[in-house]
A = this chain, B = another copy of it.
Amino acid sequence: MGAIKYELIKECKQSGARLGKLHTPHGIIETPIFMPVGTQATVKTMTPEELKDIEAQIILSNTYHLYMRPGHELIKRAGGLHKFMHWDGPILTDSGGFQVFSLSDLRNITEEGVTFKSHLDGSKHFISPELAIEIQNALGSDIIMAFDECTPYPATYEYAEKSLERTIRWAKRCKDAHNNTDNQALFGIIQGGMYKELREKSVKEMVELDFPGYSIGGLSVGEPKDIMYEMLECTAPLLPKDKPRYLMGVGSPDALLEGVIRGIDMFDCVLQTRIARNGTALTSEGKVVVRNATYQEDFTPLDPNCECYVCKNYTRAYLRHLVKANEMLGARLLSYHNLYFSLELMKNIRIAIENDSLLDFKSEFFSKYGY
């Protein structure tokens, strides 16, 4: 018995996009889905109750950050991550691979693992595939990630190949180390840089290891979006139909749509809460930089087509005031709206798949949004 089960409900006749249900130990997720990011055991500014209000079905948290602070052993003693942070829905954790490569200084990669310095205090650490699994076992997240080497962009063919091969070997070690398969599903991560053959090779070898789900990593790392979409097109169709597919770190409205059309089921991104803290909102009519002077006396809601708590109760002028005055409520309300907007978009995408009309939905959405 595995921890999760993916049920393919239908494929959109117009686009081929997948509608599904992912059964997890903490509930059923309707896919395709966007996962709000709770880096440090909190989706920034939001309570779990608010995440439920906006119908978040699953959230993501970060192994690297939780390992650094407060430590996975502490979270284990607290009763696991769900209990620690008071969220009883499904949780996915990444493996720490991406953060080790992007956040830390002076990393040294060997076959054994990665030595690096903490971004917090400069202390030295070593994460191996086995430790990445041990940490995630301690956290108790429903879906966990194999420890991978996130190939940077640009990378030579040779580098990308070596990197993907090491990621395969590490994935095997992760699988061997994982001792809680009934409650936590381990995903393998597809790498291969921006090389079609390497992506294909990565899928082939990872699928042979037979994971309960697959993540596509090493995208949205600086490459043009066209290349990312090409990589999805040569990757997703090769993945088994009866397993969920997660595109890591991608979540702008256009990429959500384009990803779903290319067969992706799960997405996450810090964009929604990060731009909120800078005073920017995602709306049906495109981005609104509410911090701008143009909204100073705009007594209309953020998004005229939005039914969220923020749009029903506050004006752009008030939100701008909060942002300008550095009031936390500003970041709170904009985060709430941006997450609501993205989850609502995914809901409408699921409806469009149901109706075999996702390409129509896409052109309508894009023409309003201003693409």
Residues of A bordering B, CB below 8 Å: 40-42, 44-47, 69-70, 74, 77-79, 84-86, 296-297, 299, 313-315, 317-318, 320-322, 324-325, 327-329, 331-333
CA distance A41 to B327 in the complex (A): 10
A sample of 15 more A-B contacts (CB under 8 A), given A41-B321, A328-B332, is A40-B321, A40-B325, A44-B328, A45-B328, A47-B329, A47-B332, A69-B324, A70-B317, A70-B321, A78-B315, A84-B315, A84-B317, A85-B318, A86-B318, A332-B332
Taking chain A's interface residues, is the majority helix, strand, or loop, or is none over half, making it mixed? loop
Q: Are B328 and A297 in contact (CB under 8 A)?
A: no
CA distance A318 to B66 in the complex (A): 12
Of the candidates B84, B86, B315, B322, the one whose C-beta lies within 8 Å of that of A42 is B322
Of the candidates B299, B315, B325, B329, the one whose C-beta lies within 8 Å of that of A46 is B329
Chain B residue numbers with a CB within 8 Å of A69 are 321, 324-325
Of the candidates B42, B44, B297, B328, the one whose C-beta lies within 8 Å of that of A77 is B297
Q: Are A45 and B329 in contact (CB under 8 A)?
A: yes
Q: Which residue of B lies closest to A79 (CB)?
A: B299
CA distance A314 to B78 in the complex (A): 11
| CB<8 Å pairs between A and B, sample of 30 | A40-B322, A40-B325, A40-B327, A42-B327, A42-B329, A44-B328, A44-B329, A45-B329, A46-B329, A47-B329, A69-B321, A69-B324, A70-B296, A70-B317, A70-B320, A70-B321, A74-B297, A74-B317, A77-B297, A78-B299, A78-B318, A79-B299, A84-B315, A84-B317, A85-B318, A86-B313, A86-B318, A328-B328, A328-B331, A332-B332
Tell me the minimal C-beta distance from A68 to chain B in angstroms.
10
Tell me the minimal C-beta distance from A337 to chain B in angstroms.
13
Chain B residue numbers with a CB within 8 Å of A321 are 40-41, 69-70, 84
Chain B residue numbers with a CB within 8 Å of A79 are 299
Chain B residue numbers with a CB within 8 Å of A324 are 69-70
Of the candidates B47, B318, B333, the one whose C-beta lies within 8 Å of that of A41 is B318
Tell me the minimal C-beta distance from A196 to chain B in angstroms.
41
CA distance A333 to B79 in the complex (A): 21
Q: Report, nearest first, the 3 A-B pairs whose CB atoms are least far apart.
A: A70-B321, A42-B329, A40-B325
CA distance A47 to B84 in the complex (A): 24
Chain B residue numbers with a CB within 8 Å of A46 are 329
CA distance A76 to B46 in the complex (A): 31
Chain B residue numbers with a CB within 8 Å of A45 are 328-329, 332
Tell me the minimal C-beta distance from A308 to chain B in angstroms.
13
Q: Are B74 and A296 in contact (CB under 8 A)?
A: yes
CA distance A333 to B322 in the complex (A): 19
Chain B residue numbers with a CB within 8 Å of A329 are 42, 44-47
Q: Which of A79, A315, A321, A324 has the most CB of B within 10 A?
A: A321
Tell me the minimal C-beta distance from A52 to chain B in angstroms.
13
CA distance A328 to B44 in the complex (A): 7
